Amino acid sequence: MVRSVRVPASLPCVAEMGRHQSGRKWLEALPEMLGELREMWGLRLEEPIHGGSCSWAAPVRREAGPGAAEPLVLKVTWPHPEALAEAPGLALWDGRGAVRLHAYDAERQALLLERCVPGTELGRSHGVPADERLVHGADVLRDLWTAPLPAPGAEGPVLPGLADVTAQWAGLAEERAARRWPVGIDTGLFALGAGLLRDLPGSAGREVLLHGDFNPGNVLTARRRPWLAIDPKPMRGDPAYDLWPLVEQVDDPFAAANPPGVLAHRTALVAGELGLDPQRVRAWAVARHVEYVLWSVVEDEDLDRSIGLMRQARLLADLAGL
């Protein structure tokens, strides 16, 4: 009989997944799934990582064999559309810019991954100047974007297309722009964001394998390479899409004495490192920030915070000349 693994109630995924029926069902099955995976892959589990709203992860090592000394991570994800492309994307990268995928169980959405050691987040490397961290992030993106995309019609999992994803967001923006909002919520920005979300993917000069969630918390120090990406949401699409979370979350440019100047400098810096048009990077910044505002005005009970985010989106639109 397989011994189940205790899942601490304090983990963020327990609180988040407990909010809806499919999440609760996944949580109920999780202890037994972990026991099965431990036995199937011959793993020794350590304490789980306190992070991740829809996945469980823990450092592990193999019990025996030639790879017994190698530090790994076991990650089990609640099945949802964004999660389905993670393993195929990691397989395509094959260690270029991202952690290696050692094993995958599609039925359980379980991934056995290379562990980043020491694993310091790019966003928390405060002893490194912001510009230098941005360049480190750009270096990782350059590696990620070299992965070959599957040929159209090729066998295997289909990677989501950026245009399909952003079209859904655009529809949401248009619907919410038509609602009545308190003073301070600029519905014109919703309309602007919707137009960008529809138009930008189709005007890209090339398609690459995108990380999809390239914030500095998903870039860690490692042994094999100075920095490696984790937790991707792979898509195929415009490379300029990937940059905004990096630019926004290495420190806080909006908290600077001169936010427009800092943002103009940062977008020019990363665009120059990667051979992209700075104005295109800025246009995607507007689109992605508006998409975040869409979530905030519905999910966040703090209206003042949502209005503050709208002002940031307006600043970005002015910077992009929109």
DSSP 227-279: EEE-S---EEE-GGGGGHHHHHHSS-GGGSSSHHHHHHHHHHHHHHHHT--HH
The Cα–Cα gap between 285 and 193 comes to: 10
Residue 246 neighbours by CB under 8 Å, 6+ apart: 134, 137, 138, 141, 214, 215, 216, 219, 270
Catalytic annotation on 213? yes
3-state helix, strand and coil shares in percent for the chain, rounded to the nearest 5: 50, 15, 35
* Token pair recorded at residue 293: 């505002």
The Cα–Cα gap between 176 and 282 comes to: 23
Domains 12-114 and 126-319 share a fold: no
Contact assessment for residue 101 and residue 112, using Cβ atoms and an 8 Å cutoff? yes
pLDDT(161) > 80: yes
* Token pair recorded at residue 238: 């415009």
Q: What is the pLDDT, as a whole number, of residue 300?
A: 63
- Please compute the mean of the pLDDT values over residues 103-109 and round it to a whole number: 96
Q: What is the pLDDT, as a whole number, of residue 299?
A: 67
Strands 72-77 and 101-105: unpaired
Q: What is the pLDDT, as a whole number, of residue 41?
A: 96
SS3 98: strand
SS3 101: strand
Confidence of residue 206 (pLDDT cuts 50, 70, 90): very high
The Cα–Cα gap between 68 and 78 comes to: 28
Contact assessment for residue 284 and residue 200, using Cβ atoms and an 8 Å cutoff? yes
List the CATH code of the domain at 126-319.
3.90.1200.10
Confidence of residue 81 (pLDDT cuts 50, 70, 90): confident
Active-site position among 105, 143, 213, 251: 213
DSSP 26-85: HHHHHHHHHHHHHHHHTEEE-PPPS--SSEEEEEEEESSSTTTTS-EEEEEE---GGGTT
- Structure pTM? 0.93
- Please compute the mean of the pLDDT values over residues 212-236 and round it to a whole number: 97
What CATH class is the domain 12-114? alpha beta
Ranges of each domain in the chain: 12-114, 126-319
